[in-house]
Amino acid sequence: MPTLPPGPSFVLRNFHVIATPPVLTLITAYAVGRFFDIHLPVWLLVAACLTSIPVSQFARSAWTDLKARRTAAALGASLPVRVDKKDAKPSGEKKYPRDFLFKLCEKYGNTFILESYTFKRVFTTEPEHVKAVLATDFANYQKGECPGFRSQMKSLLGVGVFNADDEMWKFHRSMTRPFFSKDRISHFDMFDRHATDALQQMKYRLREGYAVDWQDLVSRFTLDSATEFLFGKDVRSLSAGLPYPPTSDMARMRTSKPEADEFASAFQNAQLASSKRGRFQDAWPLAEFWQDKVQAQKAAIDKFIAPLLTDALKKKNATTQNEKVTEEDTLLSQLLKVTDDYNIIRDETLNILLAGRDTTACTLTFAIYRLAEHKDVFNRLREEILDVVGPTRRPTYDDIRNMKYLRAVINETLRLYPPVPMNNRCAVKDTVLPATSPGGRGLFIPAGTKVIYSVFLMHRRKDLWGPDALRWDPDRFIDERVQKYLTPNPFIFLPFNAGPRICLGQQFAYNETSFMLVRLLQQFTSIEFTPEVAPESVVPPGYADSPGSDGTDRVWMGSHLTLFAKGGLWVKMTEATE
């Protein structure tokens, strides 16, 4: 059945909301004319009909506020403090990320209401509140029906594990979970092949005397690893070759093979297009009236996935039922044992690709950025790697588990540069966030409220992490600060989320990140950060005086669904000779 374009479909779905106030206005005008003989001029009637839409929305909003205040009082709770509208505007694209939110927290505390037009959402960086949303009051918060994530992401993700709630989510999670067993996530053969390929290409480029965009390199590494893990066949994005620095004479002569980049750029563009919808909330179809911009990218993504899926489905039908999963099995073949619904399998694999690819690339990007800036940490980490693994041997699962400093470097990177900096949930029923001080009141959250939480801000709070919270210092995950801050309050560190929806790929991500860092530091003795070769990546003014930064950041951060370095992370490295 042909589907309507997004705009007309949105208008039809919301026709009653748009049409009811003008229709009521017309009925009232007719009644006034009929019974009181007062006839409004046409221009006034038209103006009244047009203004009736926002007026009805404000009236509804005022009524909801009143109801919320009464229910909160009845429950012995308060409403979160409301941010003054004049303070609620972001401070502009070129500031430190979330700069305006840091300032709002300083002024209004760690949980408050942000309002634009009649749309209110609660924002929090309070561990107790995040804990309630993700764990202790899990049933009351879903990805849900609030304006935002699900509707924006549906064209790309369908209803896979990342985007689903209730029974559908349980179905997807239980179907996918067995695949993340220790054996499979320690698939070091696969990591090794792609890491070797990536590092070899990097060496050639460095030997030519050019800097390398590490972010681009690890995005290809994680894409090839993830697609192989999921489908049993990688998209070979590394084979497209590496870009030259934009300021170099070679920049225009990149030897890319467009087909190798097609999947990667379609996937990237689909994410960008999905996250741009955030500006319009659920009204995004009006901005893409005749064409869903994500669908256009999805065609290129499907070009890679469809033949693999169709082929796998055909094979499944040709073999006996319920064969045991063997070591070579991919997530795709695991899913085929549970269902042969093409759409469910496609959605699920794409969800995991989205969940797992950029997040790990982001961790590797910011770890290298910080290692380049902290030579002492680099040297100490390299020493640990050479002690435990040596200069050439492939690391094992146990090696990685035993390298405490390596884990601290990764955790400290995840703390200051959490790949998923912001997230949100929708309250499905009236509920109360717990009081955060003895004798204090809980905060009432009416059903339908969007609750946004930011681990980016929470991970940088000095009252939670100590006076040096803004400094990148892996020792804080090893020394007495662990007992002082983290052990008594584990919800202050949530790069992977918490509760029933905790990241399924956490261990996979630690393994993949560790593996790449070990391989890299075995082969290189130093890293130099060279942002000057890519003008785009040079940080804008406004970084030094942000309340969220210690003023030392030299990377211009951006985020769509995940955090990234704008313009790339350009580095030079020195090869080991030993």
Does 405 interact with ligand HEM (rule: CB under 6 A)? no
Q: Is 352 in the site for ligand HEM (CB under 6 A)?
A: yes
Q: Which two tokens stand for residue 157?
A: 């993700």
Partners of 443 in the β-ladder: 78, 433
* Listed ranges 300-308, 419-427, 519-527, 538-546: which one lies at the site for ligand HEM (CB under 6 A): 419-427
Angle between the 214-231 and 506-523 helix axes, to the nearest 10 degrees? 130
Is 415 in contact with 495 (CB distance < 8 Å)?
yes
**Binding residue ranges for heme:** 503
User: What is the torsion angle, in degrees rounded to the nearest 10, for the CA atoms of residue 412, residue 413, residue 414 and residue 416?
Assistant: 80
Interface with ligand HEM (CB under 6 A), residue from 123, 162, 191, 405: 162
Should residue 355 be labelled a site residue for ligand HEM when binding is judged by CB under 6 A?
Answer: yes
Q: State in angstroms the smallest separation of the CB of 562 from ligand HEM.
A: 8
Q: Specify the residue, 495 or 548, whose C-beta has the smaller distance to ligand HEM.
A: 495
Rg of the chain on CA atoms, in Å: 26
Q: How far is CA 418 from CA 65, 277, 423, in A?
A: 34, 22, 11
Cβ-contact 397, 106 below 8 angstroms: no
Distance CA 332, CA 343 (A): 12
| Residue 417 lies near ligand HEM (rule: CB under 6 A) | no
Structure tokens given for 508: 């996979």
Which of 44, 96, 89 lies closest to 548, judged by CA? 96
Q: Which of 114, 195, 377, 420 binds ligand HEM (CB under 6 A)?
A: 420
245 in contact with ligand HEM (CB under 6 A) = no
Query: Counting contacts by CB under 6 A, is residue 501 touching ligand HEM?
Result: yes
User: Residue written as tokens 């001029």?
Assistant: 41
Q: Return the number of the residue (189 or 479) whose C-beta is nearest ligand HEM.
A: 189
How many residues line the site for ligand HEM (CB under 6 A)?
21
Closer of 187 and 337 to ligand HEM (Cβ): 187
Task: Examine residue 102 and tell whether it contacts ligand HEM (CB under 6 A).
Answer: no
User: Binding string, 478-497, against ligand HEM, x = CB under 6 A?
Assistant: -----------------xxx
Does 508 help bind ligand HEM (rule: CB under 6 A)? yes
Cβ proximity to ligand HEM, 21 vs 418, nearer residue: 418
Distances (CA, A) of 29 to 16, 59, 266: 19, 19, 53
Strand ranges inside 323-408, DSSP E: none
Distance of alpha carbon 216 from alpha carbon 220, whole angstroms: 6
Residues 170-189 that bind ligand HEM (CB under 6 A): 173
Question: Is residue 368 within a helix (H) or strand (E), and if so which, with residue range?
Answer: helix 342-373
Q: Which of 497, 91, 119 is nearest to 278 (CA)?
A: 119
| CB closer to ligand HEM out of 199 and 355 | 355
Number of Cβ within 10 Å of residue 419's Cβ equals 24
- Binding residue numbers: 503
Task: Give 25 or 330: the residue with its C-beta nearer to ligand HEM.
Answer: 330
For position 150 contacting ligand HEM by CB under 6 A, the verdict is: no
Is residue 568 a contact residue for ligand HEM (CB under 6 A)?
no
How big is the CA angle at 511 (ends 506 and 516), to the nearest 5 degrees?
130
Of the candidates 97, 132, 92, 91, which has an alpha carbon nearest to the alpha carbon of residue 111? 132
Applying CB under 6 A, among 503, 518, 539, 565 the residue interacting with ligand HEM is 503
Report, in Å, the least distance between residue 127 CB and ligand HEM.
15
Of the candidates 344, 389, 509, 533, which one interacts with ligand HEM according to CB under 6 A? 509
Residue 213, beta-bridge partner list: 570
| Cα–Cα distance for residue pair 133/124, rounded to 1 Å | 10
Q: Does 202 bind ligand HEM (CB under 6 A)?
A: no
Applying CB under 6 A, among 297, 359, 431, 522 the residue interacting with ligand HEM is: 359
Q: Under the criterion CB under 6 A, does residue 423 sit at the interface with ligand HEM?
A: yes
Q: Is 170 left (phi over 0), alpha (psi -120 to 50) or beta?
A: alpha
Which residue lies nearest ligand HEM, judged by its C-beta?
A: 505
CB of 219 to ligand HEM, least distance (A): 13
Name the residue nearer to ligand HEM (CB basis): 230 or 389: 230
CA angle 366, 368, 371 (to 5 degrees): 110
356 contacts ligand HEM (rule: CB under 6 A): yes
Q: Please, what is the minimum distance in Å from the beta carbon of residue 153 to ligand HEM? A: 10
Q: Does 472 bind ligand HEM (CB under 6 A)?
A: no
Query: Using CB under 6 A, which residues numbered 361 to 400 contact ligand HEM?
Result: 363
Residue 515 engages ligand HEM in binding (rule: CB under 6 A): no
Q: With respect to ligand HEM, which residue has the nearer C-beta, 356 or 567?
A: 356
- The tokens describing 103, both together, are 């300032």
Which structure tokens are listed for 141? 């918060």
400 C-beta neighbours (distance < 10 Å), count: 21
Least distance between ligand HEM and beta carbon 512 (Å): 6
Rounded to a whole number of angstroms, the minimum distance from the CB of residue 309 to ligand HEM is 18
d(Cα 113, Cα 158) in Å, to the nearest integer?
A: 30
Q: List contacts with ligand HEM (CB under 6 A).
A: 161-162, 173, 352, 355-356, 359-360, 363, 419-420, 423, 495-497, 501, 503-505, 508-509
